[in-house]
Amino acid sequence: MNRVFLPAARAAFVTSLLTLFAANALAADAAHAPAAVPKLDPAKGGSLYDTGDNARGLPACVSCHGAGGNSTIVANPKLSGQSESYIHKQLVDFTTPNRNQPVMTTYAKMLSEDEKKNIAAWLATQQPKGGAARNKDTLDMGRKIYRGGIAERGVAACASCHGATGSGIPIQYPRLAGQHQDYTVAQLQAFKTGARNNSVQMVTLSKRMSDEEMKAVADYIAGLK
């Protein structure tokens, strides 16, 4: 049996169909819309860096990495002025087998994703304090390795990735200028032995370097500004 619509009923039927189609379209758009990106809050990151969170047993980062990220403990890296994206990547890497370090792995796993990003954002705003080379006898060797690499063993110039002044390239290549000699050597050794495995390039290059070369280039890096 054919349904007969009066003009008013027909108009109401069409309106209801259009409303339904519009609602379905909005629902589809919402389902495919990108998730909102949380806004970085460096102030919160700085507060967490300076005070930690006693309720969670999370110590203040400042106790090991110094005020404003300028560590005075040679075994702990200077973090001030490091790129936000690189610090965040390292905090994430500490939660994986690729960079397992007892202290930092424990604390990184306690931080939320937003907290990692906020701490990284705050450290990127801090003013780095310079260091100085200590061994004049190896300064020339360190300079040559940093600027020109070791061609006969396929060691690329450090400057090609970390910049002529050690300022680095965000995410992949960290700022090195002024970093503690002891820390830099320790990381090169960790890459060489496989204890640190979150950079294919550094694992490869470190295996081609002697201990003497590592110490020389680390000392040169400490004096970069």
What are 78's two structure tokens? 């200077």
Could you read off the pLDDT of 111-144 as tens digits, one per residue?
Answer: 999 999 999 999 999 999 999 999 999 999 999 9
Q: End-to-end CA distance of the chain, in Å?
A: 88
Least confident of 36-50, 79-93, 111-125, 158-172: 36-50
Mean pLDDT of 28-41: 64
Lowest mean pLDDT among 12-26, 101-115, 123-137, 170-184: 12-26
- Asked if the model's pLDDT at residue 1 lies above 90, the reply is no
| Residue 22 scores a pLDDT above 60 | no
* Residue 74: per-residue pLDDT: 98
Condensed to tens digits (0 to 9), the pLDDT of residues 206-218 reads 999 999 999 999 9
Q: Is the pLDDT of residue 14 over 90?
A: no
What mean pLDDT comes out for the span 35-56? 90
Q: What pLDDT is stored for residue 162 in this prediction? A: 98
Question: How does the average pLDDT of the chain come out, rounded?
Answer: 90
Q: How confident is residue 223, by pLDDT bands cut at 50, 70 and 90?
A: very high
- In 3D space, the residue among 110, 114, 69, 59 whose CA is nearest the CA of residue 88 turns out to be 114
61-70 mean pLDDT: 98
What percentage of the chain carries pLDDT values higher than 70? 83
pLDDT digits (tens, 9 = 90+) for 79-109: 999 999 999 999 999 999 999 999 999 999 9
